[in-house]
Structure 1
Amino acid sequence: MNKLPLKEQAHGEIERIFRILLPQNGLAVREEQITLCHAMLDTLLQNNIALCDAGVGIGKTYAYLTACILLKKFAPHGPAGSQPVVVSTSSVALQDAIIGEYIPFLSRIFLENRIIPKPIRAMVRKGKERFVCDARLSQRLEAVKDKKKNAEQMKALLSLRSYYDLDAVTGLSEFDRRQVCVPKVCEKTCPLRNACRYHQYLKEARSAEIFVQICNHNYLLADAAHRLQEMRPLLNDYRALVIDEAHKLPDAARQMYGQSLSAEDFRELCDLLAKEKYILSSQRLKEKFTALLGAMCRGELLEEAQRTAFILTPDREAALRDCLSLLRQLQKQLAPHLPRWLLYRLGTTEQALGLFFTGDRRYILYIQYDRDGSPSLCAASREMPEQLRRALWLKDIPAILTSGTLMAGGSFDRTRQLMGLSVNQRLEDFIAVSPFNYEENCLLYIPDNLPRAQMGSEKEAKCLAEQICRLVEATHGHTLVLFTSYSLMGAVYNQVKDRLSFPLMEVWRHSQDVIHRFKQAQNAVLFAAGSCWEGVDFPGDMVSSLIIVRLPFPVPDPISEAEREQYPTLQDYIKTVVIPDMQVKLRQGFGRAIRTETDTCVVSILDHRAAPGQRYHQAVLETLPNLRLTRKIEDIEDFIRAKKGPDYFMS
């Protein structure tokens, strides 16, 4: 019988798992991963909150899942003994990997070696709008059975008889998705209420057999809001919380604690009224909403999506007054007749519009314009860090927040401030440095002869095109070029498209087809912006040259202007907010370069402000791992020749 204290036994199991069992099943021993798992387990056992900055290649997912499983084994007693852990992520891809790869892999190994007595069971928790309502599906199929419908869309609708998760079905139109998803409020009179697949899913999710509950950040915050308002929680009571991709939590919080109303929201509300047979009310409301949108429209196509401060002009004030008056009137008149959820929708729309009519100072009010000029009314909470603090950190529950970009310039200060953790007494920090040999496998190129052309000018586009063409030829393609602006990307693309001897592709927003073609081409050049700065994986030789065109400073907008007001000087704001935010984004972009131990890559930064002796050179060096730095393009050619095999240079 093992007479060691349970804590020591748990840490001993970590050593056995990562040094013996996982290597026997194909994983390498990584000292940083083992140390990280020990730190995470201590956080859970001591009921603390940890910020864990884990570099690329650490294997943090195995580390925190192992820590959670050992918590269940070695601290099983007390009221929380049977409670699950919650793992919150930002991306669906990571959720799929956790439930489809990581947990089955660990569960098998731990079962075979008698670390656990039965398999670890996990479940993805999502909002009800992501699932099929069986009653609404039957109604929808009945409605379209005699109508001509796109074959792919009809196939998608029919497949929902087998799949209740809407995300598991491709080819489903957004309209059909809205028609068949579970409504915001399930009517108690529904004849299928107890038999429908969604309620069976909820019943299974609430079972004590489910140890890992996986959700996204928005769902986690929605659950916290329910608990604060003493409503029924969305998640089971949990004993520990892991927030992976934690750098995305503030974005989710801005969305959760803010308000937004788009043309699509207005149109959907009118359609819902029409569906309930209130045609005249729907038409009247549509007229008022159209007038409101017209008072905000730019009437022009934009090169970039833009945010502008909301100003209550006389025409906007009149349009808002008309909308609010009609919404109140409809709620009063239709209260006895409308479903509760639709009446609630009218109320929340009135409440959101009221913020703009009264100029509510608790919110930053702005208009979001899409590239086609379509406006959305948006209100961002000024109290987001405090709201996060009340929602998540006042509970007596241990929490691990982890990501590859929680730290900026060697400090967690900006993350603490955004997360509402600045004064938390349970907080501890942990840094797990990437095991990759960057000094050997990566070369940093920052030329010192870049002209200081006006940003956005034709001269800047020409200068960048010249540099990019030289770099692409030096590395024989295999290049990812990251832009901070779609308009600049388009201007440079037009300059280089007829000059390169390698396939050239452009990604606009979420074009997965283009990314797939780039990976297949092997030696192509990909121009990208937006979401491609993180979360896109290019292992091997396909990205052997990463070009960062500009340092990714945040674009000034009403939200950043409001934050700037909190600092005594512009210099304080730049030092405390602007530079750390740039550093986090730069780390995310740099992470596209080296994805495995054997990858080799040249990283080029073509912003003159990053050059030696310039204003932000030191901030760049603080952000990146230790690298060899060169100013000569000849060094790039030598590096590629030394690191790449003969196949790399073939077309």
Structure 2
Amino acid sequence: MDFQITNHNYFIADVLHRAGGKRPLLPNYQLVIIDEAHKFLQAARSMYGSELVDSEIPALAGEIHAIIPDKPSGGVNAHRLAKKLRGQSEKLFQRLIANIPEDQASDDEAKRFSAVMDGEAGHHLKCIAGTSMDIGEAIAGSYVQPLFRERKARALWRLGLLAERVAGLRKHSRLIYWLEKRTEGEVKTTALSAIPKDLDERLHRDLWSKGIPIILTSGTLSASGDFFRAKSTLGLNLMPRGRVADVSMASPFDYMRNTLLYTSERAPFPNNKDKRYITAIADEIVRLVRASHGHAAVLFTSYNVMGQVYALVKKRGLSFPLFRLERGGTGAIERFKKSGNGILFASGALWEGIDIPGDALSLLIIVKLPFPVPDPIGDYERSLCGDMETYKARAIVPDMLVKLKQGFGRLIRSETDTGVCAILDSRAGESGSYRSRVLAALPDCNVTDCVGDVQAFMAAKKPAKFFELDGK
């Protein structure tokens, strides 16, 4: 028996090749196991979708200026066309950014912004597609120095891909558009992205309906054992009755013995614009990290709120080292691990995929329930649901519970780990509107609203060296 191992994106690329009548990228297979299946939808959106980054065309234009001689080719000046291409790209993104609704532009939690494809934006896309092809024709037969021939071939390939992608982005009625602002280190970019509105139908047609057995596995694919959300977004609900089965397996970890869940009765209703709320959260964090003797990570849904709370906690003069995970960075995580008893303030990446086993992370504080931030994809899904209550039940709450489970999963990484998860959102409190849903989604464990119980739990579960450094 032969096994093939690949990532989600390459597997979907093979699916697309087969669906388009192209040569497969993978040898034929008789069974597929998709691990980490909660990430498969994002991979499908990436592979079935299109994007144009604002830095892409200027870089391509610069490459053309570098390798093509100044002399016009056949009466066409490739340099002038490259300058025009760059100008159209700049005008496109200027227009799209100007079209972002004011309430979205000022929202710190927003990751995707509405991309309004009006007539002016559509005109710039058309010009980019046409100019890309014109440049390709102009330089295809042009002379370049021998050392530039490989770069010229690559530039022609990039021009062809650019024209193809931009042509796809012009299919306005079939796509969901958004703008995405990204930060990688010191580099900030803006991307125009789009996915097909019928992605679920395409996955059903290209993958699920082909008769090949497929197993999807994940620790966070369901919301309280309900797979409806995953099935509907992936198109599995389009399969005939009886062709899809689901099962939930118990975790091997002993959460009842090794985990304590703390829900706050002190924190007010979440309001990121209320200074009293920010102060109350900082106060609660200080109480908890003193009870746990550091060894804590504080998870936020907003970088802005994280910065305000971090500043307040820093003024309290705790003995434990404080670390702040910036957008796009990872260095703070390694410094936190090495500290042994530090406090890590984080958002973004720490919600999933980060492994910190052992006592370094013994208290996980989730400041706010991770409800999805409104974005163009959600707006389109809401339009299909008809009313807000249906959309909340089918999408908003299930997505929140899945992400909550992912965040909770950062705490216990092995059978010997012990720790406390604290949720500071009043909606998960004793009389909170989401308490029953939250408790049903998380593993069974003892629940308290008393900081003294947190301190007693740590005293009972941790070795003496855990308490060597005390907080002030």
Regarding TM over 0.5, the answer is yes
Write out aligned runs for 1:54-69 (5 A). Answer: none
Residue 178 of structure 2 aligns to which amino acid in structure 1? Y
Choose which of 267, 271, 275 in structure 2 pairs with 1:454: 271
* Structure 2 CA distance for partners of 1:389 and 1:356, relative to 1, 3 Å: closer
Secondary structure at the residue paired with 1:505?
A: strand
Partner residue of 2:61?
270
Q: C-alpha displacement at 1:314, in angstroms?
A: 5.8
8 A Cα contact 1:297 1:373, kept in partner: no
Partner residue of 1:216?
7
* Structure 2 CA distance for partners of 1:458 and 1:243, relative to 1, 3 Å: same
Secondary structure at the residue paired with 2:24?
A: coil
1:402 aligns with 2:217: yes
Partner residue of 2:90?
290
Q: C-alpha displacement at 1:357, in angstroms?
A: 5.2
8 A Cα contact 1:304 1:370, kept in partner: no
- Cα deviations across residues 317-375 of structure 1 (Å, max 9, x unaligned)? 554454344334335545656977655543443344445656x1110122223468743
State the alpha-carbon separation in 1 of the partners of residues 321 and 351 from structure 2.
Answer: 21
1:391 aligns with 2:214: no
Choose which of 413, 422, 426 in structure 1 pairs with 2:237: 422
Secondary structure at the residue paired with 1:531?
A: helix
* Structure 2 CA distance for partners of 1:415 and 1:539, relative to 1, 3 Å: same
State the alpha-carbon separation in 1 of the partners of residues 387 and 107 from structure 2.
Answer: 32
Secondary structure at the residue paired with 1:405?
A: coil
State the alpha-carbon separation in 2 of the partners of residues 314 and 415 from structure 1.
Answer: 36
Residue 112 of structure 2 aligns to which amino acid in structure 1? R
Partner residue of 1:279?
79
Residue 513 of structure 1 aligns to which amino acid in structure 2? G
Write out aligned runs for 1:123-522 (5 A). Answer: 211-277=2-68, 278-297=78-97, 303=108, 306-313=111-118, 315-334=120-139, 342-343=155-156, 345-354=158-167, 360-370=172-182, 374-424=189-239, 425-452=242-269, 454-499=271-316, 500-522=318-340
Residue 307 of structure 1 aligns to which amino acid in structure 2? R
Partner residue of 1:49?
none
- Cα deviations across residues 244-303 of structure 1 (Å, max 9, x unaligned)? 111000001111111110122212332343355143332232222223233334699985
Partner residue of 1:124?
none
Residue 95 of structure 2 aligns to which amino acid in structure 1? A
* Structure 2 CA distance for partners of 1:378 and 1:574, relative to 1, 3 Å: same
* Structure 2 CA distance for partners of 1:321 and 1:385, relative to 1, 3 Å: closer
Q: C-alpha displacement at 1:381, in angstroms?
A: 1.5
Partner residue of 1:540?
358
* Structure 2 CA distance for partners of 1:484 and 1:236, relative to 1, 3 Å: same
State the alpha-carbon separation in 2 of the partners of residues 596 and 385 from structure 1.
Answer: 36
State the alpha-carbon separation in 2 of the partners of residues 550 and 469 from structure 1.
Answer: 16
Structure 2 length normalisation: TM-score? 0.87
Q: Aligned residues, how many?
A: 441
* Structure 2 CA distance for partners of 1:449 and 1:442, relative to 1, 3 Å: same
1:603 aligns with 2:421: yes
State the alpha-carbon separation in 2 of the partners of residues 264 and 388 from structure 1.
Answer: 31
Report the aligned-residue RMSD: 2.5
Partner residue of 2:389?
571
Residue 441 of structure 1 aligns to which amino acid in structure 2? N
Residue 180 of structure 2 aligns to which amino acid in structure 1? Q
Is 250-259 or 415-424 further displaced after alignment?
415-424
Is 272-281 or 612-621 further displaced after alignment?
272-281
8 A Cα contact 2:296 2:341, kept in partner: yes
State the alpha-carbon separation in 1 of the partners of residues 107 and 114 from structure 2.
Answer: 17
8 A Cα contact 1:305 1:370, kept in partner: no
Residue 570 of structure 1 aligns to which amino acid in structure 2? M
State the alpha-carbon separation in 2 of the partners of residues 323 and 538 from structure 1.
Answer: 46
* Structure 2 CA distance for partners of 1:264 and 1:214, relative to 1, 3 Å: farther
State the alpha-carbon separation in 2 of the partners of residues 617 and 453 from structure 1.
Answer: 15
Secondary structure at the residue paired with 1:553?
A: coil
* Structure 2 CA distance for partners of 1:315 and 1:229, relative to 1, 3 Å: closer
Secondary structure at the residue paired with 1:603?
A: strand
State the alpha-carbon separation in 2 of the partners of residues 387 and 215 from structure 1.
Answer: 21
Residue 79 of structure 2 aligns to which amino acid in structure 1? I
Secondary structure at the residue paired with 2:233?
A: helix
* Structure 2 CA distance for partners of 1:547 and 1:379, relative to 1, 3 Å: same
8 A Cα contact 1:270 1:285, kept in partner: yes
- Cα deviations across residues 482-511 of structure 1 (Å, max 9, x unaligned)? 111111111111111121221100112453
1:531 aligns with 2:349: yes
- Cα deviations across residues 426-459 of structure 1 (Å, max 9, x unaligned)? 3221222112111111111112232225234322
Partner residue of 1:123?
none
State the alpha-carbon separation in 1 of the partners of residues 91 and 41 from structure 2.
Answer: 34
8 A Cα contact 2:270 2:426, kept in partner: no
State the alpha-carbon separation in 2 of the partners of residues 407 and 316 from structure 1.
Answer: 39
State the alpha-carbon separation in 2 of the partners of residues 270 and 213 from structure 1.
Answer: 39
8 A Cα contact 1:305 1:368, kept in partner: no
State the alpha-carbon separation in 2 of the partners of residues 541 and 645 from structure 1.
Answer: 10
* Structure 2 CA distance for partners of 1:489 and 1:264, relative to 1, 3 Å: same
Residue 314 of structure 2 aligns to which amino acid in structure 1? K
8 A Cα contact 1:241 1:397, kept in partner: yes
Return 5+ residue gaps in structure 1 as ranges: 1-71, 73-210
Is 322-331 or 609-618 further displaced after alignment?
322-331
Secondary structure at the residue paired with 1:543?
A: coil
1:613 aligns with 2:428: no
Q: C-alpha displacement at 1:543, in angstroms?
A: 1.1
* Structure 2 CA distance for partners of 1:491 and 1:643, relative to 1, 3 Å: same
